[in-house]
Amino acid sequence: MDYTYDKLKKMTVAELRDIAKDLDDESVKGYTQLNKEHLLGVLCKALGCEVRKKHEVVGINKREVKVKIREMKKERDEALAKGDKKTHKFLIRRIHKLKRKIHKATV
């Protein structure tokens, strides 16, 4: 059977151990002592499937947005030190919106 990381992740620990039992790979040795997270990594390595899919941001330049967030955090800290609550709250909301923008663009 052809296994992928997603299929293996949906299986129970007992099912994963049954798969590991049938493999003759050195990396699977001691599979009965492994928890699900470690067993997933070992099985993916032994079966040759990709361990995890990396998320990527599409449609925006993540690096530029992160730079803006860092600058706004500095401004936010300065506003807090001065006691300017209005600017502080405004910057908190802007930072939150930029973080959500990155979240929404992540695939």
Number of structural domains (the chain) is 2
Nearest Cα to 68, choosing from 99, 41, 105?
Answer: 99
How many Å apart are CA 103 and CA 107, to the nearest integer? Answer: 9
Same domain, 32 and 67: no
Same domain, 43 and 73: no
Please give the residue range of the domain that contains residue 32. Answer: 5-47
Helix, coil or strand: residue 12: coil
Q: Quick check: is 26 in a domain? A: yes
Q: What is the pLDDT of residues 55-76, one digit of tens each?
A: 889 999 999 999 999 999 999 9
User: Tell me, what's the pLDDT at 1?
Assistant: 66
Residues of the chain predicted below pLDDT 70:
1, 52-53
Task: Tell me if the pTM is above 0.95.
Answer: no
Q: Quick check: is 99 in a domain? A: yes
Q: Quick check: is 29 in a domain? A: yes
Q: Quick check: is 93 in a domain? A: yes
Q: Quick check: is 57 in a domain? A: no
- Please state the separation of Cα 61 from the chain's center in Å: 19
Q: Quick check: is 56 in a domain? A: no
Phi and psi at 106, nearest 5°, equal -80, 130
